[in-house]
Chains A and B, each alone.
Chain A
Amino acid sequence: MKKKSVLLIFILCLTLIITGCWNSRELNTLGIATVIGIDWEDEKILVTIEVINPRPVKAMLEAKPADLVLYVQGRGDTIFGALRNISLKFDRRIFVSQNKIFIFGEEFVKKGFINHIDVLQRDHESRETAYILVAKEKKATDIMGVHEAVEEILGMYMEDIIENKKFNPKGVDVNLSEYLKYYYDSGRQPILGVVDRKEKNAIKKADTHEGKKEYELVVEGCSIFNKEKLSGYLNGEETRALNFVRNEVKGGEIEFPTPVKNVDHYSTPTPSIKDSSSAINTPNRSKSVLEIIKSKTKSDVEIKNGKFILKTKVKMRGMLGDVSGDIDISNEETIKLIEESCSKQVKEEIENSIKKVQKNYKTDVFGFGTLVHRKYPKEWRRISSDWNNIFSQADVQVEVETNIIRTGLVNTSTNKIKGE
């Protein structure tokens, strides 16, 4: 019995020397980083960090947004060195576990940054769930410091904006671990989100100084890579198409031209609009909107006569969000027309997007290579090193199926008078 308890105490003591997070740090010794910006500057890495400037709650409510955060910078040959050098000028230890966003300057990304980000994966404090954004044609420092949201701290509201992807799939939410996953995947090239600083249409508030430029940050589109090298950017619609192919669309809306058709013979007579010709002649003006409720994509590849065919089949379910034009949605035939029109729009978008990537960038960000790998493992071994070229020559087949399950609260368009 005595021997046993001595042994037990010994074992318990042993556990004290196992590694782990043994070091206690008081909160008031930490500088909590929420955004880390990384740039090249004069052949050195410049790390800019947004650090929370903690205040008691009362003071925090009264503080201006600019007072809530501090920006600290460090230079070094590596990110780690730059981070450590911050301690020469800043009193708190930088604590990166709460970091939400990495912003990479375009120059940093163009030069191939994979050699430099090992620390982000290796360091136990670093979070792999932090989103990565590329500052489009800018430096990370140009982005940081813009405060144009309800939430005052850049890291916090940027995270929210990126996560808005579920309502609006015109951006991507790729975090560090996802980037690395794509990077290691031979059949798929990485993509990253994009952030851009745009000038605002100045709204004159009483207390705004004249002539001062106002900026806002936009997270639209994405940047596409060939391994670690930046190849180019896609705009919002193209990114949405990319998200469709990646099966990443959870919501969002599709604008498409309202179909025009004579529907006189239906039970609910469509009113004859006197100048209906204008609606027909300018179809672009009357657009309708489908709000996506659920979307599912199945992609496939096929080899026919030695040529690869990339197939994508999108199934959407949604509700009509906005209808304009000469149309009566109270009967099924019209709904079918609307569905077709919507499908056509999405189909075109996807085709254009794939073709653009094939033609301009030659990098398979859609992940068709992975499908080839799965379906034709033998061929894949042969072609994998040349896949990006093969991808850019492949044929594309897109199928889109839309299913409208709800039409909203009204059954006639607002610009129409029922029964007229």
Chain B
Amino acid sequence: MISKDIDKNKERLIKEFNNTSDLVAYEFRTNSNLKIIISYLEGFIDKNTLDRDVLKPVITRLESYNDLKKIIFVSGIKEINTFEEIIEEIVSGSLILFIQGCKECFSIDLRHWEKRSIEEADSEAVVRGPKEGFIEDISTNKMLLRRKIRNPNLVFENYILGEQTETEISVAYIKNIVNEDVLDKVKKRVQDINTDSILESGYIESYIEDSPYNIVSTISNTQKPDIVAGKILEGRVAIFCDGTPHALIIPRLFIENIQVSEDYYSRIYIATFLRMLRFFALFLGILLPGLYVALQTFHQEMIPTVLLITMAGAREGVPLPSVLEALLMTVMLELIKESGVRLPKAVGSAVSIVGALVLGQAAVEGGIVSAPMVIVIAITAIAEFAVPALTEVMILYRLFLIVLGGFMGLYGITCGLVVIIIGAVSLDPFGIPYGYPIAPLDKTGLKDFIIRFPLWSMKKRPGYLVKKNRIRQRNVRKK
């Protein structure tokens, strides 16, 4: 409870905040000689508004605390009377105003802080479609989503997580479409999180996901409001986290890795073709080096003779066994990628030049690796970028299959694939089978599988995900 003695309140407040230097506690008197203290965290409030719409009327016109709401022109004013509330308001960016002799104080919402402007999402570039991406500020992100779905059915539920960080997170869903089972699980798991800090949505992901030891991720993240809108319209749940532009979408099924928002914006033929291409890239990215090693060291009889002669020629004088050669090149490729991402842009290009020259040309000419291996690894790298959602998974699977292929040939590759596939289809994140709509088979889902059917023909929302309100549209094109 706050005291009537304004100085005591000030002392207590400063003590609660451990004397931190960014807490402002400004003391002044009004013209009517009332003692007033305002307190806020530096950089959290709009100083112009504070001076013009709060300080000026308070100093000139305030006579008793009852008048306060009549004289200041700010929308969010609350009367509060406990220190817990005061602290909560201050850390979330409000201004606290104490008036002498008053056993309540006022929280005035003047929140305003520096934030990045809305920019194109750099990791999810599109040719066609909205380019705007989320930013670090959660309220802006919510606004961006609300602009896509202007409908009272879109609901945000806020939670404060992290004992130390007190991060605001927000669960978003569409009331009349959302899968209630998924929503309940998400809410329950979010509420159960008991940790000291949430710095990025990845923290939440690791606390709430199913099968945390599986390589495959069952929660997707995106920077783009149109993607979030599309997903929650299919019954999924989104989680925004303050301080990061990456929103989480729950659950993530296998097919979502192949789907791209542009599939829905472009014409069906090219969309279908590109999806097939991505599937192909997925297989290449996972299998190619392993298969190459297996064929080269175990199954030379399966390679067409002319190709075999070329390959044999290229392997002459290469010191390493194929499996080590493949592992070395794969690791090198990841090394180049990793160093390219972390380095400042100016140095990054130098790395790629060195990488290209050293790995590509010098290694082959120097006889350290064979040219076909460089080609295989290069194809793999390109294939990997075609399915960005699965890049991390593909790297690990690839290494796994290279080792298996190098030691056990095609038999090893087959076993490895069985392990990979079992690992994937055994998932059912938040109760939705990961292999949907293939395993289990579902007709409505198949319309948006490898072949993307025209939007007007997808009359129902995908089974399994949406339980109620399944009809998406009724207007069918006239024949």
Contact = CB atoms under 8 A, between A and B. Distances in A.
A and B from one complex: yes
Interface of A: 12, 15-16, 20-28, 30, 32, 34, 52, 54-57, 59-60, 95, 97-98, 100, 125, 127, 153, 155-156
What range describes how many residues of B lie at the interface?
20 to 34
Contact of B301 (A24, A28, A127): A127
B297 A52 contact: no
A21 B315 contact: no
Nearest to B406: A24
Interface of B: 296-301, 305-306, 308-318, 321-323, 371, 406-409, 411, 415
Contact of B318 (A12, A28, A98, A127): A28
Q: Closest 7 interchain pairs by CB? A: A97-B301, A54-B312, A54-B313, A24-B297, A27-B315, A27-B312, A28-B315
Contacts of B316: 28, 54-56
Given A32-B308, A156-B305, A60 B313 contact: yes
A26 B318 CA distance: 10
Given A15-B415, A34-B305, A97-B300, A27 B409 contact: no
Given A54-B315, A56-B316, A26 B321 contact: yes
A156 B306 contact: yes
A56 to B, nearest CB: 5
Nearest to A12: B415
B317 A27 contact: no
Contacts of B317: 28
A52 B305 CA distance: 10
Contacts of A95: 300
B298 A98 contact: no
B309 A52 contact: yes
B409 A25 contact: no
A98 B408 contact: no
A21 B313 contact: no
Contacts of B298: 21, 23-25
Contacts of B408: 16, 22
Contacts of A26: 296-297, 315, 321-322
A98 B299 CA distance: 11
Given A54-B312, A60-B310, 10 more contacts: A22-B408, A24-B321, A25-B298, A26-B296, A27-B297, A27-B322, A28-B318, A55-B313, A55-B316, A57-B310
A35 B278 CA distance: 42
A60 B308 CA distance: 13
Nearest to A20: B411
A54 B309 contact: yes
Given A21-B298, A24-B297, A30 B312 contact: yes
Contacts of B308: 27, 32, 98
A21 B410 CA distance: 9
B411 A32 contact: no
B409 A24 contact: yes
